[in-house]
């Protein structure tokens, strides 16, 4: 039987395959597992900065409303298990081990194809989607993009909502050397007829995102650009959460969403 340390060591051993943009390997592995991502009610969070804080705010809002929330984040701070958390608590060592035992044969099967080896991030992403899609379902899964968006491993989901926090110059060797090119990659998480929330302030990259939204025939897009405003949102779980700047939009959206569809699960 595999131990937790052996499981984590095996995951980390895939680091040697580096970063390989593309979702073909993800599609193959998830199909082998019965496409568990189709069972998740997800929110996809991309952008250059602010992804982690936006995810945290949305998680606390949803928890306060009485919903169960899964999260997929990177990197971890103290424990590897933080990458996959349920209601703010990392999943257990035993759960990590069992996920690796499930996913490892699929990764080996992938090797025999022309798609090549799975990367570390792809494996962790598959583990997360299998966990929340097949093992321990929750009401909502908040998924943080790893790199870019269009070709990111997480971009196999069909979310309830896409979020693009900010656009800045990051990973230019993969995403491009202009804000417009970077915005194009990050706008790749926008799906047809799915609402989008953006916190992008610059006109040029914002226009790239708006064009993507229009081409996809989306029903709505929220521009919440707050420069000099603070808001205190009262929540029993955290008493008071004070939010500044662009991240305020996630709170506003949560309030709009709660009033419009009452956050009812199906």
- 24-69 pLDDT per residue, tens: 999 999 999 999 999 999 999 999 888 988 898 888 888 887 889 9
Angstrom CA distances, 107 to 20, 118, 152, stand at 15, 6, 18
CB–CB of 226/246 below 8 Å? yes
* Chain segment 75-90, per-residue pLDDT in tens: 888 899 999 999 999 9
pTM: 0.85
248-262 pLDDT per residue, tens: 445 545 544 554 444
Residues 146-166: what's their mean pLDDT?
92
Comparing 68-72, 83-87, 204-208, which segment has the lowest mean pLDDT?
Answer: 204-208
Cα dihedral 231/59/191/76 (nearest 10): 110
């Amino acid at each position: 039987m595999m131990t937790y340390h052996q499981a984590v060591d095996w995951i980390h051993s895939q680091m040697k395959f580096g970063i390989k943009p593309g979702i073909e390997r993800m599609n193959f592995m998830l199909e082998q597992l019965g496409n568990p991502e189709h069972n998740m009610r997800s929110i996809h969070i991309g952008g250059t900065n602010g992804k982690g804080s936006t995810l945290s705010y949305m998680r606390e809002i949803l928890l306060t409303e009485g919903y169960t929330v899964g999260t997929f984040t990177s990197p971890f701070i103290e424990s590897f298990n933080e990458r996959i958390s349920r209601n703010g608590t990392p999943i257990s060592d035993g759960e990590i081990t069992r996920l690796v035992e499930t996913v490892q044969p699929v990764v080996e099967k992938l090797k025999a194809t022309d798609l090549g080896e799975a990367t570390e991030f792809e494996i962790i992403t598959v583990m997360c989607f299998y966990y929340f899609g097949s093992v321990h379902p929750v009401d909502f899964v908040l998924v943080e993009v790893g790199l870019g968006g269009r070709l990111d491993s997480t971009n196999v989901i069909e979310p309830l909502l896409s979020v693009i926090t900010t656009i800045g110059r990051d990973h230019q060797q993969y995403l491009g050397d202009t804000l417009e090119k970077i915005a194009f990659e990050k706008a790749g998480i926008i799906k047809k007829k799915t609402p989008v929330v953006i916190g992008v302030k610059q006109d040029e990259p914002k226009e790239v995102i708006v064009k993507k939204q229009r081409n996809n025939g989306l029903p709505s897009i929220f521009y919440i650009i707050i420069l000099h405003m603070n808001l205190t949102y009262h929540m029993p779980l955290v008493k008071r959460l004070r939010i500044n700047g662009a991240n305020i939009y996630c709170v506003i959206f949560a309030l709009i969403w709660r009033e419009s569809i009452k956050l009812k699960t199906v």
